[in-house]
């Protein structure tokens, strides 16, 4: 088990609070936490040398942004950066398993497009 902690001196003061509490804060705080878990968790696994992972398990939407990091990695391997093909989407889909223990709408995070653009940035938004 690896624990992600944003309270490190290299981070800005607000970013350092992202792992202070679970299920707290507003939508912006929550989406940033999901970036840490999904994208940060993916990058941690790669940095630790886990290159041959067959399946990524995402419980609820907490780590769902992992698919963005996986897509970015696959695009880079193909020397592409502007768009993703349906074939690549299927490859990513086959590598990901999603489970939920809260199969009701209130159990799934939804974020306004403006906030998603703010947190994800134009680079991520334009690619997918």
Question: CA-based Rg of the chain, rounded to a whole angstrom?
Answer: 15
Q: What is the SS3 assignment for 94?
A: helix
pLDDT bracket for residue 109 (50, 70, 90): confident
- Checking if the pLDDT of 26 tops 60, the result is yes
Residue whose entry in the numeric block shows the structure tokens 């709408």: 105
Residue-range domain boundaries for the chain: 15-127
**96 pairs with which residues across the strands?**
56
CA 5 – CA 94 distance, rounded (Å): 29
The reply to whether the predicted model has a pTM over 0.85 is: yes
Q: What is the mean pLDDT of the chain?
A: 90
Task: Note the Cα 52 to chain centre separation in Å.
Answer: 19
Q: What is the pLDDT of residues 67-78, one digit of tens each?
A: 999 999 998 898
The token pair at 73 is 């990695």
């Amino acid at each position: 088990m690896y624990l992600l902690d944003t309270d490190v001196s290299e981070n800005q003061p607000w970013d350092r609070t992202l792992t202070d509490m679970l299920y707290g804060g507003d939508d912006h705080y929550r989406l940033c936490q999901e970036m840490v878990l999904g994208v940060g968790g993916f990058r941690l696994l790669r940095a630790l040398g886990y290159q041959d992972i067959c399946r990524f398990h995402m419980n609820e939407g907490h780590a769902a942004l992992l698919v963005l990091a996986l897509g970015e990695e696959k695009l880079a391997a193909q020397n592409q950066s502007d768009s993703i093909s349906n074939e690549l989407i299927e490859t990513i889909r086959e590598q990901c398993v999603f489970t939920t223990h809260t199969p009701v709408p209130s159990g799934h995070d939804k974020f306004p497009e403006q906030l998603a653009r703010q947190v994800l940035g134009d680079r991520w938004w334009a690619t997918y």
